[in-house]
Amino acid sequence: MLALALGTLQSVLEPALPLLQRELRISPAEGALVANTLLVTGAVVAPVAGKLGDRYGGKRMLVRLTALVSAGGLLAGLAPNLPVLLLGQVLQGAMVGALPLSFVLARKHLAAGESQVAIGVVSALFTGGGMVGTSLAGPIAERLTWHGMFTLPTLAIIAATWAVTRLMPDDPPAPSQHGIDWPGVALLSGTLLAFMLGLVTVTNGLPPLAAGGLAVAVAALATGWVLVERRAAAPMVELRMLAHPALWRACLLTFVITTGSGMVLFLLPQLFAVPADGYGFGADTTDIGLLLLPGALAGAFSDSVGGIAARRFGPRAVVVVGGIVTAVTLIALAALHTAAWQLVLAKVLTAFAAGVATTALLAGAATAVEAGDTGIATSLLVVTRVIGVALGAQVAGAILDAGAEPATGLPGESAFVTGFATAGLVAALSPLIARLTRKGTPS
């Protein structure tokens, strides 16, 4: 229930982004920045939430995290201007931490084989919420203004959190003689925050000097974090765990897959919203939501079978097939995008392929590490997902900005062709990487 409600709140922005760009008078690249504000917080919160869930219990941390998300949703629902909306998005980003906390609970209460399937089911419900949010965002925005898009899902989150507190069994905290590695938490959070801020601003024309400063800050914070973790009695992240073949290969493949899918997530609503007197379709928020709905449904279904596919065929085989399907689909879309059904079909195929592959990698990594490391290991993969999607959206926004027509300010058709072709080439890297790193990879 909670995963469904959280997924709904996360997804309402996708079909409504062109509407917000018009009402707030911002460019596509700035629109990508708005969409990625939630992801910036998520990247910082997810590993901290996963570690605290491993230590203090998944249910306890899940309830506290959703209280923060609810505050952000209500703030966005009452936002009078863009800065307040962005603050609400920052708080809502804590929802990304709900996934590793859910995986902690699945691993604690279920056997290894069952937990792989359960991880897929939870991911599917989170994505299923995306289907709900995608389909309802337009009607809600048109009848209650865009503020209602945030308020109604937030009320559902509050109700689901109450149900969690009453119905979900408690999971005991893990005994430890050491406290939380707060210096490690601070340094890792700072590293991710600086990296994400650089990621979402560099494509918006960040001056070279500022970009260089951010790069130096990221390197310094990351170095400090490694030094602290090597000396900590109970480090936030066991550095030896990062060398686990199942984990680092899963992170690398997840990053590549989600970068390509992040580009598609941003490009399709923009193309649907382009006026119909040219090469676009002139779709409004409701129409965009309906056109994206089959893809959201495919994504939810793919997540539900991703864990099963990982157990039956192995993550590597799933990644190879998914990468080939995605690459072929996007290259074809670069050439054929004159009918709405072509875009809808491409969304269905890419959402299914990416969903199965990333969930298979997540389920495989979750059961490859020690049970006490489930939260932090899966949170690292969730962060990798977030970074990939954010990078893909920012790159796609930059491509559309670079290809804007001077007279209208709208992206030219060639910009979308470049975007889809680039996403296809990125997707083609995943089967290549899976083949090159297959030695030692779980199969």
DSSP of 86-120? HHHHHHHGGGGGHHHHHHHHHHHHS-HHHHHHHHH
In a domain, 327, yes or no: yes
* CATH number of the domain bearing residue 241: 1.20.1250.20
In a domain, 248, yes or no: yes
In a domain, 9, yes or no: yes
Query: Using CA atoms, how far apart are residues 24 and 189, in angstroms rounded to an integer?
Result: 30
Which pLDDT score, from 0 to 100, does residue 176 have?
A: 63
Which pLDDT score, from 0 to 100, does residue 156 have?
A: 92
CB 52 within 8 A of CB 303: no
Parent domain of 213: 2-168+182-436
Query: Using CA atoms, how far apart are residues 71 and 158, in angstroms rounded to an integer?
Result: 10
Which pLDDT score, from 0 to 100, does residue 440 have?
A: 44
Which residues, listed in sequence order, are joined to residue 213 by a DSSP beta bridge? none
3-class secondary structure, 243:
coil
Which pLDDT score, from 0 to 100, does residue 327 have?
A: 92
For residue 146, what is the DSSP state?
T
Q: Is the dihedral of CA 29, 387, 43, 186 positive or negative?
A: negative
Q: Cα angle at 123 between 122 and 126, to 5 degrees?
A: 90
Report long-range pairs for 121-125 (Cβ below 8 Å, ≥24 apart). 121/304, 121/307, 122/3, 123/99, 123/303, 123/304, 123/306, 123/307, 123/355, 123/359, 123/362, 124/300, 124/301, 124/302, 124/303, 124/304, 125/3, 125/4, 125/7, 125/300
| 314 torsion bin: left (phi>0), alpha (psi -120 to 50), beta (else) | left
CB 282 within 8 A of CB 336: no
Q: How would you label 181-210 residue by residue, b for 16+ Cβ within 10 Å and e otherwise? A: bebbbbbbbbbbbbbbbbbbbbbeebeeee
Work out how many domains the chain is built from and give that number: 1
In a domain, 370, yes or no: yes
Quick one: angle between helices 245-273 and 285-313, nearest 10?
Answer: 160
pLDDT average per 10 residues of sequence, the chain (443 residues): 86 76 69 71 79 81 91 85 79 84 80 74 79 79 78 91 88 69 80 74 67 84 86 72 78 90 88 82 82 82 74 80 90 90 92 86 74 71 82 85 80 90 92 74 48
Quick one: angle between helices 13-24 and 112-144, nearest 10?
Answer: 30
In a domain, 173, yes or no: no
Rounded to 5 degrees, what are φ and ψ at 363? -65, -40
Give the closest residue to 375 by CA, choosing from 2, 114, 167, 115: 115
Give the closest residue to 29 by CA, choosing from 409, 343, 384: 409
In a domain, 219, yes or no: yes
Cα 410 to Cα 283, 335, 338: the distances in Å are 15, 20, 17
Query: Using CA atoms, how far apart are residues 127 and 163, in angstroms rounded to an integer?
Result: 20
In a domain, 348, yes or no: yes
CB 50 within 8 A of CB 106: no
Which pLDDT score, from 0 to 100, does residue 177 have?
A: 62
Cα 210 to Cα 19, 202, 218, 398, 399: the distances in Å are 31, 9, 12, 18, 21
The CB density around residue 392, as the number of other CB atoms within 10 Å, is 26
Which pLDDT score, from 0 to 100, does residue 372 have?
A: 65
Query: Using CA atoms, how far apart are residues 159 and 31, in angstroms rounded to an integer?
Result: 30
In a domain, 177, yes or no: no
CB 378 within 8 A of CB 250: no
Query: Using CA atoms, how far apart are residues 116 and 306, in angstroms rounded to an integer?
Result: 9
Query: Using CA atoms, how far apart are residues 337 and 351, in angstroms rounded to an integer?
Result: 17
The CB density around residue 403, as the number of other CB atoms within 10 Å, is 18
CB 274 within 8 A of CB 411: yes
Query: Using CA atoms, how far apart are residues 372 and 70, in angstroms rounded to an integer?
Result: 28
Query: Using CA atoms, how far apart are residues 106 and 124, in angstroms rounded to an integer?
Result: 14
